[in-house]
């Protein structure tokens, strides 16, 4: 009761400050503030701190982080059995992969086939603190002023790929101070150069010297924080990519990941890091590979997305109210389509058949050796859907997704190198 009263008084104080400082929020900021409810004072505290002329850019950065906070969450991914009951299994506690695998096999024998699912999550606007946000913003701006290469990027690029306080769906953790201290040698090593390629190479070599892939972490699917990764100096490939992004962003280099959602014949996402070398040019690379190994992705990718912090306003997750009608791998707000940078693409228009009632979107699928997997979506207009930027030399199936099931919306077809559809009759 005491805590509730304290929060109520704080809300009144901040509301008064809001009126006094003539703060005007756009609609998306207001939506997040309203959604935050009892955590709203934490967000308002950051806004009020930077509401002064000398901090005008930091205020804009604050608004950017808040207005795009809707899709930012921590997800706990755990193994569950056929009854959807959680299996208590922590792969991290085992000494090595062999011991872990023995314990995993024992769980399989006791509980049957296991799959990984998100059983609970925490939304950032419910849990983030003003201290974390303020530290993140201040350290991001410090890097922008400190390093020569950081000055060449627009403020928009800085906000999207340097400023974000999280990388994936890990627990919130203030990682910038660690890397800024650990990489304090970088300025001297670069000798007043703004060569981002060289800075990236030096950072990669530094990370490879102590952080490594460990196969046992493939059985720990929850994204690790930096603090957790430092305990064992190892993790999944996803952790390797994440720690690389943290290090790069901490010194003002715009970085994120690109990925292929379920490429044909591969059951896991294929992903890699990218850095921006200018506002309009991104360079892909594999952090885990040596300098001499050239970047190469699967030939003719069907679709490639870029992980963003900014919310994609027009997508199924932002429009479709029933999540059972959105494929899990597309049920998110934070990605952009970059397929055209990796393969020749074609916009594909499909005449749809047997459209279920109240269906807003159709999906286009690839076959991953066992099932058809939705990888892109199109809005249904006049019994048609257009799927933009589809990679050539791939076989696709148009479909609907209702109640977690794929429903064919037409015949599968091969999109040839000229961008023409060769339809095939399904048996």
Report pLDDT for 217.
Answer: 95
344, 310 contact by CB (below 8 A):
no
Report pLDDT for 9.
Answer: 52
Q: What are phi and psi of 15, to 5 degrees?
A: -65, -40
In 3D space, the residue among 361, 348, 359 whose CA is nearest the CA of residue 315 turns out to be 361
Sign of CA dihedral 357, 362, 368, 369: positive
Report pLDDT for 368.
Answer: 82
In 3D space, the residue among 403, 369, 401, 367 whose CA is nearest the CA of residue 385 turns out to be 401
Strand segments, DSSP code E, in 320-412 are: 335-337, 345-351, 361-367, 372-381, 384-391, 394-402, 405-408
Distance CA 232, CA 176 (A): 19
DSSP symbols for 93-121:
GSSSHHHHHHHHHHHHHHH-S-EEEEEEE
- Domain coordinates in residue numbering, the chain: 1-67, 72-280, 316-423
270-278 β-sheet, strand order:
281-285, 270-278, 255-260, 305-307, 335-337
**pTM score, two decimals?**
0.90
Kindly report, residue by residue over 362-407, the tens digit of the pLDDT. 999 999 878 899 999 999 999 999 999 999 999 999 999 998 899 9
Residue 106 CB neighbour total at 10 angstroms: 11
Residue 384 CB neighbour total at 10 angstroms: 13
Per-residue pLDDT of the chain (427 residues; tens, 9 = 90+): 444 454 455 555 555 555 445 677 888 999 999 999 999 999 999 999 999 999 999 999 999 999 999 989 999 999 999 999 999 999 999 999 999 999 999 999 999 999 999 988 999 999 999 999 999 999 999 999 999 999 999 999 999 999 999 999 999 999 999 999 999 999 899 988 899 999 999 999 999 999 999 999 999 999 999 999 999 999 999 999 999 999 999 999 999 999 998 765 554 558 899 999 999 999 998 776 555 456 777 788 999 999 999 998 888 888 887 778 899 889 999 999 999 999 999 999 999 988 999 899 999 999 987 889 999 999 999 999 999 999 999 999 999 999 889 999 999 999 999 999 988 655 4
First to last CA, the chain: 65
Residue 21 CB neighbour total at 10 angstroms: 12
Distance CA 89, CA 69 (A): 31
Answer left, alpha or beta for residue 404, where phi above 0 means left and psi between -120 and 50 means alpha: left
Distance CA 89, CA 197 (A): 41
């Amino acid at each position: 009761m005491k805590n509730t009263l304290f929060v109520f008084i704080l809300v009144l104080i901040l509301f008064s400050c809001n009126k006094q400082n003539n703060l005007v929020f756009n609609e998306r900021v207001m939506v997040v503030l309203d959604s935050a409810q009892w955590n709203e004072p934490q967000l308002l505290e950051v806004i009020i701190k930077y509401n002064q002329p000398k901090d005008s850019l930091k205020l804009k950065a604050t608004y950017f982080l808040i207005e795009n906070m809707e899709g930012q969450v921590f997800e706990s991914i755990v193994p569950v059995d056929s009854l959807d009951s959680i299996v208590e299994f922590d792969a991290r506690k085992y000494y090595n992969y062999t011991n872990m695998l023995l314990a995993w096999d024992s769980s399989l024998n006791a509980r049957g086939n296991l799959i990984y699912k998100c059983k609970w999550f925490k939304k950032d606007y419910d849990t983030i603190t003003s201290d974390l946000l303020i530290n993140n913003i201040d350290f991001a701006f410090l890097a922008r002023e400190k390093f020569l290469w950081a000055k060449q990027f627009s403020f928009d690029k800085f906000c999207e790929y340097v400023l974000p306080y999280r990388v994936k769906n890990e627990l919130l953790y203030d990682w910038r101070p660690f890397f800024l201290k650990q990489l304090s040698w970088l300025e001297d090593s670069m000798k007043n150069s703004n060569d981002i390629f060289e800075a990236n190479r030096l950072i990669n070599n530094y990370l490879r010297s102590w952080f490594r892939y460990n196969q046992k972490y493939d059985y720990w699917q929850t994204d690790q924080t930096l603090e957790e990764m430092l305990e064992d100096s190892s993790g999944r490939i996803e952790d390797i990519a994440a720690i690389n992004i943290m290090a790069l962003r901490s010194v003002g280099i715009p970085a994120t990941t690109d990925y292929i959602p379920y490429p044909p014949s591969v059951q896991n996402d294929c992903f890699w890091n990218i850095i921006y070398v200018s506002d309009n040019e991104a360079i892909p690379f594999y952090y885990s590979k040596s300098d001499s190994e050239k970047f190469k992705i699967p030939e003719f990718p069907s679709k490639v997305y870029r992980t963003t912090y900014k919310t994609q306003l027009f997508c199924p997750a932002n429009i479709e109210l029933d999540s059972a009608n959105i494929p899990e791998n597309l049920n998110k707000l934070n990605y952009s389509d970059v397929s055209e940078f990796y393969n020749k693409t074609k916009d594909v228009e499909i005449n749809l058949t047997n459209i279920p009632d109240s269906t807003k979107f159709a999906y286009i699928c690839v076959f991953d050796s066992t099932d058809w997997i939705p990888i892109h979506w199109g809005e249904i207009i006049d019994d048609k859907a257009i799927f933009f930027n589809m990679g050539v030399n791939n076989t696709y199936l148009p479909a609907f997704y209702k109640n977690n099931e794929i429903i064919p919306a037409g015949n599968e077809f091969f999109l040839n190198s000229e961008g023409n559809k060769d339809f095939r009759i399904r048996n």
